[in-house]
Amino acid sequence: MEKLSSHFTEEEARCKCGCGRIVVDDVLVRLLESIRAAAGHRPVTVRSWNRCVQYNKEVGGSPDSQHLYGKAADISVKGVDPDQLADFAASCGADGIGIYHTQGFVHVDVRGYRVRWREK
Ligand SMILES: [Zn+2]
Ligand SMILES: [Zn+2]
């Protein structure tokens, strides 16, 4: 299994539909490592990272989703509330942060400008 960094692998980054799509954005990889450290060095579960156009449609992603460019990841950390995880992400310099409290994950991305949202 190819490693992208100390704690993240290519396998985690690939599109979950099985198409094998992977675009690695080093800024995002560094962000994920920072968040992992901020969360007390606990394992970060990646729910969604790269997405091909087809899969992005299937999961209801926006047409210009940062997941299409490998610049976004939906993550959770066991035992860490999504609100708290979002705070860690903000302190680590994430650009886009979306809190999906009911589903228990936080979207983080490195789009280059600040965006915040919360699932209704
Ligand atoms: Zn795919
Ligand atoms: Zn996302």
Which domain CATH number covers 33? 3.30.1380.10
Residue 96 CA: which ligand is closest?
2
Residue 55 CA: which ligand is closest?
1
Contact 97, 106 (CB under 8 A): yes
How many separate domains does the chain show? Answer: 1
Asked whether residue 4 is assigned to any structural domain, the reply reads no
CA of 19 to the centre of ligand 1 (A): 4
At residue 24, the pLDDT reads 94
pLDDT in tens for each of the 120 residues of the chain?
799 999 999 999 999 999 999 999 999 999 999 999 999 999 999 999 999 999 999 999 999 999 999 999 999 999 999 999 999 999 999 999 999 999 999 999 999 999 999 996
Asked whether residue 3 is assigned to any structural domain, the reply reads no
Q: What are phi and psi of 34, to 5 degrees?
A: -65, -40
CA of 47 to the centre of ligand 1 (A): 14
With 0-12 / 13-18 / 19 or more C-beta atoms within 10 angstroms meaning exposed / middle / buried, residue 106 is: buried
Structural domain range at position 92: 10-118
For 54, residues 6+ apart whose C-beta sits below 8 A from its C-beta are 17, 19
